[in-house]
Structure 1
Amino acid sequence: MGASSSTQQVSTEQREAETLAASTGALPMLQKSFSRLSNPETKAIPLTSLQECFCIAFNNAKCEAPYVPDYVLQLLDQLGPSIVDLFFVAEKGGISWVEFVRGYTKCCGRMSAAMSLGALLRVFSVTTVKVGMPSKLQFESDDADCKISGSLQPNELLVLLWMCWIMTWSSRISKFSNGKLNLDLPDINNLVLSAIVSCTEVGSDLNLWDCDITRLEVQLPAGKIHTWALNTVPNLADCFVHFVHVKLQNTATSEVPMFLPLI
């Protein structure tokens, strides 16, 4: 395994990465997870193995809301690749121990709620592009605390909130089941309407009690969505952090072999 020991020469970059991870209390878990996911010969995690670690498997999807965009479920297939592409740097042979620890810290390290929410929005933006849907969110840089501009339409915010709900749901039930489960999406139109009222100047001709949010073409500025989310649904910022942590924690405790060499 790539983790350090008293008999190994530890590089400065490895020591720094492990120190940051240790400050979260997750270093022992990461060591076990890396040991189970990595190829013993290359001492690295194959890219596909880490992507699959963050996948969400389900059988059937039902929804209380009258309309669900087709690409909602497609997002789940691209969630793992998006997370790995954004936060984990692959080297020759896969993802090394140092880059694995660094990637975890980028996702789950000590950071403000605003920065965690920014990471979530970045994941959503990249994932929607992967399924062929353009994203209007723009990030000033790759820094965790960078300025976010652009906007979302109400139907896009609806999908973002559903993605967050699915990640939270998956985190809670994954430890109890190794198989696929049914997925029930709640009706969260009222939450989206709350964002519309908070982030835009709603005209008097808009009837909020009889409104099809999937057809509204108003733009919700990214900055206002950010503020609305932190004030109205503050736990939204934690759902991505918790999702990544739980998925890796499950690999550390699973009795099912994670790395299966190709024959």
Structure 2
Amino acid sequence: MTVPSSVVPPGTAGLEAGVGSAPSAPPRRRPAWHAATVAAVSPETPTARRIVLDVPTWPGNDPGQHLDLRLTAEDGYQATRSYSIASAGDSTMVTLAVDRVDDGEVSPFLVDAVEVGDALDVHGPLGGWFVWRPDTTAPTRPVQLIAGGSGIVPLAAMVSAHTEAEDPTPFRLLYAVRTPDDVFFRSTLDAARAGTAPFTDAIVYSRRAPDPTLPVGRLTRDALAAAVFPPDAGALVYVCGSTPFVEQVLRWLGERGHDTTDVRAERFGGNG
């Protein structure tokens, strides 16, 4: 998922610590350029691919951070794009999930052509605002995650960290996708549902649902209100998706009484 900017709310730059930060930050991992080798590739959805990178000098990253990925052609031409990281922690294996943008310069290569053993360059970890860290020693604010399409990628890292740490923070996810085939990180969500950490999710299908009796259609204001924590819960809210999706969600949250100055949002280009 490409992440060109972080905004809280629209028009406000946001790669910084903010109100209601989840547990105090560990020592900052300084971003740097690293040599990476493609260790594994697998289909994620019909239009997306999961890519695992072996980065021996990677310092680790927090759930929600991103990196810059640089491709270099044989003639020396270089192209760099930003992608959310779907993994977290101290491992030097870094997981991405890239959705194809048909007229894009980088994503078609990553989805259709990159192979195990290929060499890439990555710069990171990047971002300090759009992160969540588990803390099993102290009560924290509830967390509301709202994703559109491949916007689930950085949120999946948070869900996985929450599950693995058995963190007591109440987590909710609202996920808007086109069809069941378009769900990213299905096993991560299954593990969260089966785990001991408090987690609930609602998936809204805009074109086809897994059960023909379920309603189908785009996310609505009422559906959002029914699925997310109420404003008085004081939840820390993370929103990620295409720019139109994020802007609409922020408007609805504001109309429902949520403090949108305390919402952490990331946008990306494409349809979301």
Above 0.5 in TM-score?
A: no
TM-score interval, smaller chain: under 0.3
Q: Which has the higher contact order (CA 8 A, sep 6+)?
A: 1
TM-score normalised by the chain length of structure 1 = 0.24
TM-score normalised by the chain length of structure 2 = 0.23
Relative to its length, the structure with more helix (as a share) is 1
Relative to its length, the structure with more strand (as a share) is 2
Q: Which has the larger radius of gyration?
A: 1
